[in-house]
Structure 1
Amino acid sequence: MLVAGKGGECRWKECAPKTGVTSWDEVNVLKRNSDDVGWEYGFLVDANNKDKVECKKSTQEAKDKCKKSLEDSKRKRKEQAARELELREEVNVSWVGTEDDEVICVGTIPFNACDNDEFKQMCEAIGQFGSRLEPPSLRDLRESLLDEEYARTKSLLQEHEAEKVKNGFVSSKEMSDVSHTSEVIFELVDKAIEDIGPDDVVQVVTDNASNNMGAKKLLLEKRPNIF
C-alpha cells in the first residue's frame, strides 16, 4: 500500500510479506493479463501459481462491481446455451454441405483447409461417433487439447533430433509467441551464420514476405558476400 510521509510525499510499504512484493511494478507483474474485473482488486501471491490470489480490502462499490460482473457472465452462459440448443434444432442431415460452407465462411477459415487430411479425418471421426457429439470448448482448444498436441509434436521431433546428431543439423527455434519482424528474423539468421562460420555460408533462402525482405536488406548491409 502507499503511505503518506512528511511533506506529502508517498512511499511504498510492503503489504504482502509472503510474496516479497515491494513495488508497484512487481505488483503489476503478479496481475493476470485479463479483462476480468476481479484483477482490479487482486494479484497473484506467486507468479507461477495462478490459483493463489490475494486481494486488498474492498469497498462496497467494488463488491457491487464484481457481483454485477459475475451476474453478466452467468447471463451470457445461459444465452450461449440457449443459442446452442437453437442451432441443434435447426440442423437437418440434408443440409450438411450447406452447413460446412456456412461454418467456413462465417468463421473466415481458408477454403483450402478442406484439403487437409486432418479435416477429412475430423469429418470421418464425427460421422463414426454419431449424433450428440459435444464439440470442444474454446478453453479445451486453448489449454488441454493444445497441450496434448504439443506433447505429440514434441515426440515426433525425436526422430529429427536423431537426424541432427547424424547430419549435423544446426538448430531450430520455437517462435509462436514472438512477433516475426525483420529485425528478429535478421538476428536469428545472422546468429546461425555466425555459428556455422561466415566463410562457410554463401546463400540464405526465404520466401518473399515483406519481413523476410526487410531481413534480407539488413543481412546484405552486414554481410555483402551472402546471396
Structure 2
Amino acid sequence: MSSGASNRSAATVDKPVSLKRNSEDIGWEYGVLVDLNDLNVIQCKLCPKVVKAGMYRLKLHIAQKRGQVTPCPNATPEDIAWCKQAIDDSSKAKKARLMEQQEVRDNVVIDVPSDKEDETGLHEIGSASQATVGPMDKVTKPLDASSLGIPFNAINNEEFDQMLEAAGRYGPGAKKPYQREKLLHEEVSDTKEMLKLQENEWAKNGCSIMTDAWTDQKRWSIMNMCVNCSIGTSFLESKEASSESHTGELIFQYVNSCIEKVGAQNVVQVVTNNASNNMAAKDMLYVLKPNIFWSSCATHTINLMLEDMGKMKKFTSIVDQAKALTIFNYAHHKTLSLMRKFTKKRDIIRPGVTRFSGGASIEPKGVPVLQ
C-alpha cells in the first residue's frame, strides 16, 4: 500500500502542470506551461524537453529545425509537417505585415514649401534636432487625447502611421493644414470622384431608390434616401422631419425630389417598407411616373410573416420557451459563460429592434456620401 501510494505521488510530481495559454496556436497541441508565473517556459508533450523561449522555440523543436534548439526524438512525420507549416505561415504573415507597413510609409508624399519658417513653437516642445533612434515620446510633449475626443485606438490607424512618417521626413518647422477649407474641399472632390462610377452604372443598367426612416434616442425623426445599383449602395441625402407628419403626401414629395436628382430615366424602382403611408405615396407616384415600380421591402415582409407565425398556437409555446431560456442565460453571467464555452463562443440569436433599409443591406463603412 505504502509503495503504491509513493509511486503515484512521484508520478504526480513528475507530471507537468497541464496548463496552456488562451491561444489557437497549433503549438499548444505539443506543449504545456510548466509554471503560470513564466509563460515562456513550456514542456514538450512528446519528450521531457523544456524550452524557455516561448512557443516559437517549441515549434522549432517539434519541426526538428536545428540551430536554436535540439530536435524532438519522438515527433512523427505528421507532427513535423504540422509545425513546419505553422512556422512557414507565421513567417509569411510577418513578411506581409512588414510589406504593408513599408507600403504605408511609401505612400507618404511631402510637398515642401520654399520657406520653412519656424512659427509652430516646436522649440517649446522638444529639441529641434532630428531623433534618428528611439520612441517619439522622448522628444515630444504629452497630450491628453481624452480631452480632444480622440479614441485611444486611433494610434492603430494607418493614417496615423503615415502622419508620423511625414512628420519624421519633414523635420522641424512643419505647419499644420487648415482645418476646414482645403481638406473639406478635397474630401468632397474625392467623394464625387468615387460616385462617378456608380452614376455611370445608374445610367447604364438603372438603379433603385431606397427609403430608410427611423427615430433616434432623442426622438428626432430622420428620413434617409439611398441609391442602390449593381456596384453597391450610396447615401444620397437625409431629411430631419420631426416637426412634420409622415403622411403619404410628404413621403411622395420627398421621394419624387430624389428621383429628379438621380434622373427619372435612371430609376427602375422605389423600395420602402409596407407601412400605410408608404402605400399611399406609392399610389401618388404611380399617377405621376407609371413606369417606375414601387416594391415592398423584402426584409420587412419576412419579418411580418415570422411575427404572425410566432403568434400561431402550435408555435407560441416554443417561442415562449426560447424567450425564457434566452432571458435566463443572458441574465446570469456564469450561465452565459458556460454556454459560450460549450458553443465555442457563439451566442443565441435574440430578437431585437429591426431597422429596414429599403430591402437591401447598407454597409456603413466605406459607403460614399453625396450632399
User: Which TM-score applies when normalising by structure 1?
Assistant: 0.34
- Greater strand percent: which structure? 2
Give the number of the structure with larger relative contact order, counting CA–CA contacts within 8 Å between residues 6 or more apart: 2
Q: Is the radius of gyration larger for structure 1 or structure 2?
A: 2
User: Which TM-score applies when normalising by structure 2?
Assistant: 0.22
- Greater helix percent: which structure? 1
